[in-house]
Amino acid sequence: MPDRRRVPTVLSGAVGLAGVLAVAFLLAPPLGTDLSAQVARANFFGRHGSAVLDLGWYAGISPYGYSLFTPPLMHWLGADALGPRLAGALALLGSAAALALLMVRTGARRPLLGSLLGAACVAGNLVSGRITYAIGVAFGLLALLLLTSTLRPAVRWTAAGAAAALAGAASPVAGLFVGLAGVALALAASLPAPRTGDAGESRDRWRPGLVDGTVLAVGAGVPVAVLGLGFGAGGWMNISLTDTVTSALASALVALLVPRRVLRIGAVLATLGVLAAFAVRTPVGLNATRLAAMFALPVLAGYATLPPGPARGWSGRGAGSARGWLRRGTGFARGWSRRATGLALAAIVVLAAVVEPPVSVADLRAAGDPTASRSYFAPLLTELAGRPPGRIEVVPTANYWEAAYVPEAAPLARGWLRQADQAHNRLFLDGSVDAESYGHWLRDNGVAYVALAGAEPSWVGRREAELIRGGLPYLTPVWQHPDWTLYAVTGAPSVVQALGAGAVGPGGGDPPDGAEGAGPGTPGAELVRATSVELTVDVPAAGETLVRLRWSRWLRVEGGGDACLAPYADWTVLRVTRPGRYSITGSLTGAGPRCPS
């Protein structure tokens, strides 16, 4: 039976270390490539509340696809990077406490060591700036902890289901992992109860039931499905063969050395998930490796045992079958000396840390990035505020901080969401960008300005920066600063354009046959205002106008006359019956009107 007397020691140790790491995280300069995305989401909520579409990124994307409630939480905790970092620190403390209690309640062999490494791994995730994921993980661990409580079944299942739903609503990635845990619990419950004396299994220790697994899987799965289907950005996330192999190896160590059927089944499912993410293009991609990166080390440290030594071998009923392997687990190091066992387990933990490091060294090196400060962008924002409205392409900086600050002054052509880049901006990722394709891309996206920072660009922006510095005939420098150069795109491509002969169609080519209108360079629709939540346009006559906003079910148009919206490839068409000023926004409840086919 788990020794409840160990709770104070294990809990205080884990929370104490988490507190130290949280303070260090808050005192350090902004870290990680993902923190800028968290700041961007929090700042967007601070400026525009619960707006359903962010027109300042990728020509329109829903912040709900990223997280349902963490942006307001981060905003309420503080401005810019402070709020997300405080939220991450709180998530670290909560995760450390929940994991420590789980280790004790589930009878881990070394709960203190496992809990300490767990706190360190969660802190390593914060170094990369993954705040929403950290919050989702905290709720996911809370859901598991509630299942091990002594509450009445109905209360326990309701509370655990609610926590699982919050995990999925906070982070779809965390929600997927909670769902995976639910499937593992359900599968483990479907196997016969372990025999008394089986290594690692105790009849006094909490064992999952089918309802437990269902509660987790459904609770987390519903918000993940709603966010993905209703607000997803599309596209897919890359994952390399190296990342796939290292994550699979870490999960394999857990499956082989942890004699707990739930954890073993979960490790097998995690391995299959990573392999599936590599084989099939999905929005998950590299995110599938986060489970092993965060939990392989603490699980191995807390629960692992060694295979039987030479004195016993592998005899025993069921040892030769996969079913027996799942049911019984490996024995506890019979035939090994205590010292040899300790050294071997230490070596295994070190191996897992090397194979799947819980912290990114590159993100640690990012400390002190000058672009993480709002002041770095202030001169550019001031210059843009005095210019006619238009979309801007900022060559991505090393940690994508333009995505957090520039949309306050002008909508970005891009942002910081790899799935959206894969869907719409592949030329920057596959190395095919050149002077010709870059010019087509700028025109097709209605980009009026291009800004190049003096700081180091991201790897996805290096080729773009080289092209710009080498000189491009369609870019004219219009403003310079020690940290910035701003270019105007020849012809001043606009987010709005009369749809007709000569208009630029999707992909930079001609529009479909049969399109009519004035074409570029002739009197037509005029962009009046472009913000992250609203695009206002003056239309001089009845007809159709190409609006370079990504088509979305949530788009809404209002104005001085009858108007409607329709998809045009990836973009949107505004059709009006009389001249006037029209505003296009996003709305959850009042989208439309839609043009008849």
**Each residue's pLDDT tens digit, 91-139:** 999 999 999 999 999 999 999 999 999 999 999 999 999 999 999 999 9
Q: Is pLDDT at 530 greater than 80 in this prediction?
A: yes
pLDDT exceeds 70 at position 512: no
Looking at the chain, how many residues does it have? 597
- Which pLDDT score, from 0 to 100, does residue 498 have? 83
Query: Lowest mean pLDDT: which of 8-17, 192-201, 317-326?
Result: 317-326
pLDDT of residue 314 exceeding 60: no
Q: What is the pLDDT of residue 568?
A: 93
For range 581-588, the mean pLDDT:
95
Residue of 295, 315, 213 lying closest to 253 (CA atoms): 295
Position 343 confidence tier, pLDDT thresholds 50, 70, 90:
confident
Strand order in the sheet with 555-559: 526-530, 535-539, 580-586, 555-559
* Percentage of the chain modeled with pLDDT above 70: 88
Q: What CA–CA distance (Å, rounded) separates 14 from 21? A: 11
In this model, does residue 508 exceed pLDDT 80?
Answer: no
Q: How confident is the model at residue 334 (pLDDT cuts 50, 70, 90)?
A: low
Identify the weakest region by mean pLDDT among 28-42, 240-254, 315-329, 534-548. Answer: 315-329
CA atoms of 255 and 330, how far apart (whole Å) = 10
Mean local confidence (pLDDT), 353-365 = 91
- Give the pLDDT band of residue 312 (cuts 50, 70, 90): very low
**389 has pLDDT over 90:** yes
Most confident of 223-237, 369-383, 561-575: 369-383
pLDDT at residue number 416: 96
352 pLDDT above the threshold of 80: yes
Helix intervals (H) in 232-330 = 241-257, 261-279, 290-303, 322-328
Q: Which of 199-208, 224-233, 465-474 has the lowest mean pLDDT?
A: 199-208
* 515 pLDDT higher than 80: no
Rounded CA-CA distance 175/290 in Å is 12
| DSSP at 315 | -
For the chain, the straight-line distance linking the first and the last C-alpha, in angstroms and rounded, comes to 68
310 pLDDT higher than 50: no
Beta strands in 503-595 (DSSP E): 526-530, 535-539, 543-547, 555-559, 563-568, 571-576, 580-586
* Predicted confidence (pLDDT) per residue in 185-226, tens digit: 999 998 876 664 444 454 445 567 899 999 999 999 999 999
Q: Give the list of residues 6+ apart from residue 113 with CB closer than 8 angstroms, or none.
A: 301, 302
Position 490 confidence tier, pLDDT thresholds 50, 70, 90: very high
* Best CA proximity match to 20, nearest among 92, 77, 91: 92
Q: How many Å apart are CA 41 and CA 587, to the nearest integer?
A: 18
Mean pLDDT on 414-420: 96
Output the average pLDDT for the chain: 89
pLDDT at 231 > cutoff 90: yes
What was the pLDDT predicted at 293? 95
Task: List the domain boundaries for the chain.
Answer: 153-234, 237-368, 370-489, 496-586
Q: According to the model, what pLDDT value does residue 453 have?
A: 98
Using DSSP, state whether 50 is helix, strand or coil.
coil
| Calpha distance 211→54 (Å, rounded) | 39
pLDDT at 242 over 50: yes
- The pLDDT value recorded for residue 335 is 54
The per-residue pLDDT for range 134-178, each reduced to its tens digit, is 999 999 999 999 999 999 999 999 999 999 999 999 999 999 999
Q: In this structure, what token pair is assigned to residue 105?
A: 């309640």
Question: Encoding tokens for residue 596?
Answer: 């008849």
The listed CATH number (2.50.20, 3.30.1360, 3.40.50, 2.60.420) that belongs to domain 496-586? 2.60.420
pLDDT at 123: 97
d(CA 577, CA 517): 15
